[in-house]
Amino acid sequence: MSTLTVNLNERSYPIHIKAGLLLQAGFFVPYIKGPLAVIVTNHTIAPLYLDQVIAACGDKQVATIVIDDGEQYKSLEQYGFIMNELLTMNAARDTTLIALGGGVIGDLCGFVAATYQRGVPFIQVPTTLLSQVDSSVGGKTAVNHPLGKNMIGAFYQPILVAIDLTTLQSLPAREFAAGMAEVIKYGIIYDAPFFSWLEKNAEALKKLETETLAYAIERCCSIKAEVVAKDEREGGIRAILNLGHTFGHAIEAEQGYGNWLHGEAVAAGMVIACHVSKHLGWQTADQVQQVEALIACFDLPVQGPDTMNLATYMPHMRRDKKVEAGNIRFILPQGIGQAVVTKEVSDSLLHTVLG
Q: Which residues are catalytic?
A: 118, 140, 182, 224, 234, 238, 242, 245, 249, 262
* Strands 148-155 and 140-145, sheet pairing: antiparallel
Encode burial over 29-56: b for 16+ CB neighbours within 10 A, e otherwise.
eebbbeebbbbbbbebbbeebbebbbbb
d(CA 300, CA 325): 34
Among positive and negative, which fits the CA dihedral 318, 320, 321, 323?
negative
Q: Which residues contact 58 (CB under 8 A, 6 or more apart)?
A: 25, 26, 28, 29
CA angle 100, 94, 108 (to 5 degrees): 35
The SS3 call for residue 59 is coil
Among positive and negative, which fits the CA dihedral 262, 264, 266, 272?
negative
d(CA 108, CA 74): 6
The SS3 call for residue 67 is strand
Tell me 73's DSSP state: G
CA angle 126, 183, 249 (to 5 degrees): 80
Strand ranges of the sheet holding 36-42, from the earlier edge strand across to the other edge: 2-6, 13-18, 160-164, 122-126, 96-101, 36-42, 61-67
Element holding 63 (H helix, E strand): strand 61-67
d(CA 142, CA 120): 16
